[in-house]
Amino acid sequence: MRKVTPMEAESFDWFVGRSAFKLPGLFVPRFWKPTLIQASTSEPAVLNAVLALSTIHKSETIDDRYTNRHMLANLGQFMLLHYGKAMKQLQPDISTSDQSTIRVTIISCVVFVYIEFLRGRIQAGLTHLHYGLKLIQELPSPNHDSRLIDADHDVPLLDWAIEPLLRLYLQAMLLGQLSEPLHPAYSGVAYIDLPTAFASPLQSRCYLDLLLARVLYLFNSPPLNNPPQPLTKTVRHYSEAQRIQLQLRIWLSASNATMANVGKRATLRDRITYTSQLNFCAMATIMAAYLTRPSEMTYDAYTPGFLAMLERSIGLYKMSHVPGLKSAVLGIKAEFKSEPVIDIGWLPGLYFIAVRCRVPRIRHHAIALIRSSVHKEGMWHAELTACIAAEVARVEEIVFYSHVKLQSDFELTDLPDIGELREPTLPEWCRIQDLRVRLPGDPTGSATLTYRRNMSEHGALVVEHRVYDLRGKQWTTGLD
């Protein structure tokens, strides 16, 4: 490796001392330490990618009220220089089938996704993610008869490759940004024996992530306006959804047993992790139930589940005000600026409540909690997530609840009581179907919602588009 410059050394030290701990969120997976750091010391492309990531992270966290523009411009130029170098250094090796070269390319590709998500260039990040998922196909598959999770080491086999890509895959699928399934070798978790208790929170999360990935693939297909699916495929999806529901129940039992074993030794961080996982499990369970009864009215049967998710989210909100953990949940670093994380936290669960639960008091409380956040969770930006969720609620409720005053003066920490949940049920014709979101290509671009809905109680389904301009902060009706 060449000798680094003083600015490069400073940037790398920032990465090791801060980025590698702050960006991952509550968990610091082995991809960050030691995989990424070790690769940085031997692979020029990875080093340059890490320097670019470290620099953009630093620029996101400094108080630009007291930083001159020249310094910020220098950081931007430094980031672009090393980002460009990293991509150029990978070019000669892109077509190779050598396993070690594929490893380096995947590691670099993951860092490229992180860089673009932090820059707000979501579509560019998704392009890198597509390529990373494609590269996974080039890796040797684990034995289908063996456990995908190593019980002795608490981590997935081939964790250096699949773990970060799996988490990015979940981010994208939770907003419907991808259409391809995860590598078949890893979607088989629906058919393996789960343990009766987990060795660690990381092992628990790995199993849940793989189950959630499969549910999301089934949930997000077929795309809007596709022709009806063949009966054999529908039956297969129904059968798999039922199997995943069973696996989720087993996972929940094992997770509860794990926390019971930990008992009073559980730290506040353990409780936050456990609570977050319960919300993702609940979300996956409701999605799987929808797959067995694909109707927007199906969600009404899971109002208790949505309410439980909201209660846990309120608990996370309360826990977030404990010193040292506020940034892990809400992303608040100081009064002036938020500090981003690259992994998903509580935003996807709140968004799911807001767009799928049609009880006004519950869904609007979820939107209010999203608005209490000021941070980024990878491709999930709190402000934009709140705007999208609020627009979905507005479109659905504007006609039916036009003569009803919906409560909006609740406290964020107060769970709704029974009386607040008794609004008339939103009829099926008011509910949008096949919601699709296209995120902006850059921080000043636009987000587009595409969905189907009935224009009146007896009207035909029509496709509508709503476009949100990030610069002007307003919604307009899009064109076909």
Cα–chain center distance at 193: 26
Positive/negative CA dihedral, 137, 143, 144, 148: negative
147 secondary structure, DSSP code: -
Residue 467 DSSP SS3: strand
Cβ–Cβ under 8 Å, residues 159 and 31: yes
Q: Tokens in use for 72?
A: 């910020």
Kind plus residue range of the DSSP H or E element containing 454: strand 446-454
Cβ–Cβ under 8 Å, residues 69 and 99: no
Q: What pLDDT does residue 25 have?
A: 80
To 10 degrees, the CA torsion angle through 110, 112, 117, 122? -100
Cβ–Cβ under 8 Å, residues 270 and 293: no
Cβ–Cβ under 8 Å, residues 218 and 237: yes
| Cα–Cα dist 169/176, whole Å | 10
Orientation of helix 303-319 relative to helix 360-371, angle to 10°: 30
The 3-state secondary structure of 256-321 reads HHHHHHHHHHCCHHHHHHHHHHHHHHHHHHHHHHHHHCCCHHHHHHHHHHHHHHHHHHHHHHHHCC
Q: What pLDDT does residue 472 have?
A: 93
Q: What pLDDT does residue 347 have?
A: 94
Residue 295's DSSP bridge partners are none
The verdict on pTM exceeding 0.85 is yes
Q: What pLDDT does residue 96 have?
A: 62
Residue 375 DSSP SS3: coil
Q: Tokens in use for 471?
A: 């610069």
Query: How many CA within 13 A on the CB side of residue 12?
Result: 19
| Cα–Cα dist 420/310, whole Å | 14
Query: How would you classify the pairing of strands 149-150 and 446-454?
Result: unpaired
Helices (H) and strands (E) in the chain, counts: 17, 8
Asked if the peptide bond before residue 222 counts as cis, ω within 30 degrees of 0, the response is: yes
Q: Give the length of the chain.
A: 480
Question: What is the phi/psi pair of residue 408, to 5°?
Answer: -140, 5
Q: Is 259 left (phi over 0), alpha (psi -120 to 50) or beta?
A: alpha
Q: What pLDDT does residue 225 have?
A: 45
Q: What pLDDT does residue 161 have?
A: 64
Positions in the chain short of pLDDT 70: 1-2, 28, 63-70, 91-97, 140-161, 185-191, 222-233, 322-338, 479-480
